[in-house]
Amino acid sequence: MLDGLVITRRFDTPAWLSALVFLAGIAAGLAMATALLVAIGVPASALFDEVIGEAFMTASGLAQTLTFATPLICVGLSAAVALRLRFWNIGIEGQLWLGALGATAVALGDFGPEATRLPLMLLAAALAGAAWIALPLVLKLRLGVNEVITTLLLGSIAFLFAQHLLFGAWRDPATGFPISLAFDASERLAALGFGRTHLGLPIALAAALLVWFLVDVTRLGFYGRAVGENIEAARAAGVPVIAVTCAFVLLSGALSGLAGGLIVAGTEHRMSLTLGAGYTFSGIVIAFLGRFRPLATVVVAVIIGGVFTASDVFKVFYGISEAVVVLLQGLVLFGVLVAQFFGAYRISRANWGTTP
Amino acid sequence: MTETAIAHPAGDGRPVSPSAGAPAGTPPALELAGVHKAFDGKPALIDAGFTLRRGEVHALVGENGAGKSTLMNVATGVYAADAGRELVDGELVRIRGPVDAAAAGLGMVHQHFRLVPRFTVAENVRLALGRRAGSPAAAAALVAAKAEEIGFPVRPDARVADLSVAERQRAEILKVLLLGARVLILDEPTAVLTEQESDALLAFTARLAAQGGSVVLITHKLREVAARADRVTVMRQGRTVLDGAPIASVTPAEVARLAVGATVAPVARPRRAPGGPALTVEGLSHRREDGGVTLDGLTLALREGEVLGLAGVGGNGQSELVACLAGLATPRAGSVALAGRDVTMASPAARRDLGLRVVPADRFAFGLVRGFTVADNLALAALRRGRYGSPLGVARRRIRRDAEAAIRDHEIHGATPGRSTGLLSGGNAQKVLLARELDDAVRVLVAHSPTRGLDVRAAQAVQAAIAAAAERGVACLLISEDLEELMALSARIAVINRGRIVGEMPVEEASAAALGALMVGHA
Amino acid sequence: MSGFLVGWLAAIPAYAAPLLLAALGLILSERAGVLNLSAEGVMAIGAMTGAAVVLSGIAPTLGILAGVAAGAGLSLVFAIVVVVFRGDQTLAGLTTVAVGIGLAGVLGRDFVQKPFPGIERFGADAAPASNAFERFFLQQDPLVLVALALVVAVWWFLERTRAGLQLRAVGEDPGTADVAGVDVQLVRIAAVVAAGALCGLSGAYLSVAASHVWVEGMIAGRGWIAVALVIFARWDARRALLGALIFGAAEALGPRLQAVGAPVPTYLMMMLPYALTLAVLVLSSLVGRRGTDEPAALGSIYLRQDKS
């Protein structure tokens, strides 16, 4: 196929071209998504009003967007940190479930004095998330088992474990619903006084700053780039590859776990079975669109948070499934994947034999 | 190279050029003219031309990167040229891919054989021939018959992965001939062969030409091939600089001058008296993951200020030895010691701390990080020694200053501290690696084929750097397939064969013949 | 006890068939060198399309075919992204899952939770079973037989036909296949589309044959199990049948135990397929089989003009 075209890999893509194709890809993805939404009955004018207007320009919408963005920042950072080492963390949701379970366990068990309850909950969340990625990490380092599959499998196992608890020991005895008892006031993150935003937002922003410091300033970050680009060369140059890999991957798991902790302690105030779905793909999309840079990840997470807000509106007014969020992210990513081809390769016509 | 005319070996009964080949008036079997080809804007071929007569063996000579393989890849449609003309038997052809090439009777045996390793020889032939091969049984019969006809023993039901390199090459040639090739293009065919195997191959090409076929031998080793060729074409930097001269009309020295463009002075062998033991390897054994033995009780000792050459046909355990020495592979038995300290199980980092430095055969495999800037690659190893700040912060400005100095001192052309290393030419990337590895703390240097793929000037700079290091007291293990290079630099030369040292001699007693016999011996 | 056993055994094929169908598809794609994580999304679109067509009053058989076509269509997009535009196969696979689930949810909003007459089991109109064999057989449906036939067909195609040889060559060594005149891009696209058709069939089986209703999220991770199953089967159609039966048996056990009133930790039981796959991954790498069966060019991007 396509024998008339010659495709050659570019040795180097100029920055302007790479930025151009990236933006073109996003634009193409958004255009596809718009066309689709219009086709199923959302007026084009409403699209702009709901997404830009409602999600970012009104106080209540913006508050909602920032509330959604809080865990999204964490999972975006989680994916970005792992992908910097070419480690595919497809188990973000699993670590998030474990984080939520860890925080809930501390809250329901009333561990420690009330004053340290919240820090302990978030610590438990981060540790549980890190623990849940430890097995894929060890299997990859010791046996070379592909992490795509192992993180994925453990993600499913984590969700089943959450169901096991919520349909069993943690089930709300009053209603019989698969939700835990509500947390006490000392187990809830303080509201910021702006919609439903809570202390989790500054915590997530602090996490982004910490990750930025680690990957862009410290020696660990320098080593991480080397391990991600060429692990054998890094090892031969004396880089402690195992330690660097463990640090990055466990941090990735901890950030996903923290996202789970922030959701239960900040937004839901109890454990439920609906709080964790879809975060794996969102995390990867955010990391990818943020080019794996911690601070850009924050910006993209807020934008995706806006899409979540808009989706609530679509659902109420047009009866559109919340699957529209994942669809939209998928279409944008498809757009970028295709567009990047034009940055990475040079395409020309084969003219062999046509020149004298 | 020395100034002697090429001697045609007596006894093979081949006529000497220019009487070889088809009679005048017959159109050339293959003619290329005015070929241009660029990769991402970098010209690889500039107005290149080539003419192959019927019934001749034609050597296509040039340095690595001169464009020889690129030109033949254009001829067979692997690459599409940007401009140019191609004629087969006098007819203008347009070859857009391998299928067109086969139809035109052009067959190329690439350096990387076009055989699926997990398939049998017969399955590979069936894949290549398509409908013409018929059933699996018919394909196997075709292979057996052709093997008989050309006098190559090739088992149709053998898995390619289980064959030796020479056997794979035979299978590949057989496949190309079954596809109907009348022009056989062999890309560096002897690079991977022992001397005896090379002789057998070259005798075969002579037979093929005598029967009216045409053979192109792409090589950068003029001497061993030219003796069997009728004419020679020389390429340099993408251009044809000598177009089909009868081999008797040129001397190897002339050809070398044309190929290189300028002659370079040979590097002087370091003369320093060796000091104390620097690297001691005792009974080192290693196996691949699939159980194949790669190192089999290898023992060698290297002293300070000494260059020990390690000769051998590629694939006899050299890569595994380098990996075991660098700490990237774990030996099954034996020991490695640096200056008397056992490091058999030590990490690469601990070995670096003891002064071990490694230049691998593929500099981007475990040498350099392709996507890193030159400065970052230069700094990577020194970070842990604290030269570039504390763990909490990297001293970027110092990295940059050091890189500027290294680029100046090592004459790394085309490099700036901020430039991506992957954009450098092979020679200059190698200089970056050497600049990093030959730092102040180096005690032992392990260099595996450090000049492979470099142009002559870059190769000479690399050799000079190794010689200078030895003069400073660095112990150097130089692993190479290039006997000239080994004899120019080493004080002693050991030979590796099937994972063992099968012989060792002072350079004064070494000769290509003696080393060659050890390299191919099946002891 | 024997009643329980027959009931359990009879339930296995309906659990195994969708896993098997999807895994057979993924084997085709991965033997051609395209890492395929898209099953969960492709199955979702297949399930939704099948249900939507049947709910529009069209015959269930055509509903199944529509699911096949929808799966093939979505996979064609995936194929073009990874083969023509050389997108990262892991990322593009995940994206296809997202788009498949998203499209199914958005386009299928009118079909949620509406029961419909689908493909029936053999025993639907028959008299009650008189013996254990009949009890087993009457619990099956025509698509289970189709799945079994497809195991043979896929194995035969890959191992015995010239097209299969070409497909395997593309997955092992695309450069060599190209030189041999095989259109690498075309073979890969065809293999991925075939994989999509089989995943679409698998999804349609779930809605049209197994449950006669469609709800969002009804694939419930079966696509991921199929991805794991391919590794479990080491890219061999015959071993995929074995693996699907084991996974199906694990999946079927929980509901059967519940049905007879045994107190079982349902959700822990449902972890079995995942835990088994993890165990197989660990074991196969421990005994050093890793990499020996995986197609050599799996996940790689092929470009003829690559300067070697």
Q: Do residue C180 and residue B127 have CB atoms under 8 angstroms apart?
A: yes
Least Cα distance to A47 among A329, A240, A327, A317 occurs for: A317
List, in order, residues 6 or more apart from B291 with CB less than 8 Å away.
Answer: none
Which residue type is seen at C300? S
CA A229 to mean position of chain CA atoms? 22
What pairs with residue B159 in β-bridges? B120
In chain A, residues 155-184 whose CB comes closer than 8 Å to chain C: 156-157, 160-161, 163-164, 167-168
List, in order, residues 6 or more apart from A338 with CB less than 8 Å away.
Answer: A25, A28, C81, C85, C87
Q: Please tell me the distance from the alpha carbon of residue B434 to that of residue B411, in angstroms, as a whole number.
A: 12
**pLDDT reported for residue B16:** 37
Q: Please tell me the distance from the alpha carbon of residue C79 to that of residue A73, in angstroms, as a whole number.
A: 31
How many beta-carbon pairs under 8 angstroms link B with C? 63
pLDDT band at C223 (very low <50, low <70, confident <90, very high): very high
Cβ atoms of B76 and B50 closer than 8 Å: no
B257 at C interface, C-beta within 8 A: no
Strand, helix or coil at A117? helix
Model pLDDT for residues C2-31, shown as the tens digit of each residue: 778 888 899 899 999 999 999 999 999 999
Q: DSSP secondary structure string, A224-253?
A: HHHHHH-HHHHHHTT--HHHHHHHHHHHHH
Of A7, A150, A320, nearest to C109 by CB-CB distance is: A320
**pLDDT reported for residue C1:** 58
Q: Please tell me the distance from the alpha carbon of residue A285 to that of residue A329, in angstroms, as a whole number.
A: 7
Least Cα distance to C216 among C66, C62, C51 occurs for: C51
B/e letters for B397-412, b = 16+ CB within 10 Å, e = fewer, are eebbebbeebbeebeb
Residues of A in contact with C286 (CB under 8 A): 143
Of A9, A217, A238, nearest to B393 by CB-CB distance is: A217
Residue C294 clears pLDDT 90, i.e. is over it: no
Query: What pTM, to 2 d.p., does this model score?
Result: 0.88
Q: Please tell me the distance from the alpha carbon of residue A271 to that of residue B132, in angstroms, as a whole number.
A: 67
Residues of B in contact with C31 (CB under 8 A): none
Of B95, B352, B394, nearest to A238 by CB-CB distance is: B352
- B351 DSSP assignment: H
Q: Do residue A218 and residue B391 have CB atoms under 8 angstroms apart?
A: yes
Model pLDDT for residues B274-311, shown as the tens digit of each residue: 889 999 999 999 987 767 788 999 999 999 999 999 99
**pLDDT reported for residue B15:** 37
Subunit partners of chain C (3 or more CB pairs within 8 A): A, B
The minimum CA-CA distance between C305 and chain B, rounded to whole Å, is 6
Q: Tokens at residue A288, please?
A: 């990818």
Model pLDDT for residues C232-274, shown as the tens digit of each residue: 888 999 999 999 999 898 888 878 887 777 777 888 888 888 8
List, in order, residues 6 or more apart from B137 with CB less than 8 Å away.
Answer: none
The minimum CA-CA distance between A145 and chain B, rounded to whole Å, is 15
Q: Do residue A11 and residue B422 have CB atoms under 8 angstroms apart?
A: yes
The minimum CA-CA distance between C3 and chain A, rounded to whole Å, is 28
Residue C131 clears pLDDT 50, i.e. is over it: yes
Place of tokens 């937004």: A267
Q: Please tell me the distance from the alpha carbon of residue B201 to that of residue B184, in angstroms, as a whole number.
A: 13
Q: Tokens at residue C253, please?
A: 């056990």
Per-residue pLDDT, averaged over A270-298, amounts to: 94
What pairs with residue B494 in β-bridges? B310, B504
How many beta-carbon pairs under 8 angstroms link A with B? 121
- C128 DSSP assignment: P
- Give the residue on C whose Cα is nearest the Cα of A284: C91
Strand, helix or coil at B191? coil
For residue B461, CA distances in Å to A245, B86, B368, B440 come to 37, 39, 19, 19
List, in order, residues 6 or more apart from B324 with CB less than 8 Å away.
Answer: B284, B286, B295, B330, B331, B336
Model pLDDT for residues B51-75, shown as the tens digit of each residue: 999 999 999 988 767 889 899 999 9
Per-residue pLDDT, averaged over C178-186, amounts to: 89
Q: Which residue has the higher pLDDT, A126 or C252?
A: A126
Of C168, C172, C180, nearest to B128 by CB-CB distance is: C180
Residue C148 clears pLDDT 60, i.e. is over it: yes
Cβ atoms of B95 and B77 closer than 8 Å: yes
Cβ atoms of A271 and A31 closer than 8 Å: no
**pLDDT reported for residue C62:** 96
Could you give phi then psi for residue C36, rounded to 5 degrees?
Answer: -125, 100
Q: Do residue A240 and residue B390 have CB atoms under 8 angstroms apart?
A: no
Q: Do residue A324 and residue C282 have CB atoms under 8 angstroms apart?
A: no
Least Cα distance to B185 among B297, B309, B288, B101 occurs for: B101
CA angle centred on C104, ends C102 and C106, rounded to 5°: 65
Residue C209 clears pLDDT 60, i.e. is over it: yes
Q: Please tell me the distance from the alpha carbon of residue B469 to that of residue B359, in angstroms, as a whole number.
A: 14
Residues of A in contact with B34 (CB under 8 A): 355-356
The minimum CA-CA distance between A164 and chain C, rounded to whole Å, is 5
Could you say which residues of chain B have pLDDT below 70?
A: 1-24, 40, 64, 192, 221-226, 261-265, 290, 520-523
Subunit partners of chain B (3 or more CB pairs within 8 A): A, C
Cβ atoms of C259 and C210 closer than 8 Å: no
Residue A279 clears pLDDT 90, i.e. is over it: yes
Q: Do residue C173 and residue B116 have CB atoms under 8 angstroms apart?
A: yes
Q: Please tell me the distance from the alpha carbon of residue B287 to that of residue B290, in angstroms, as a whole number.
A: 8
Which residue type is seen at B523? A
B271 at A interface, C-beta within 8 A: no
Cβ atoms of B435 and B409 closer than 8 Å: yes
Cβ atoms of A264 and A100 closer than 8 Å: yes
Q: Tokens at residue B81, please?
A: 């040229």
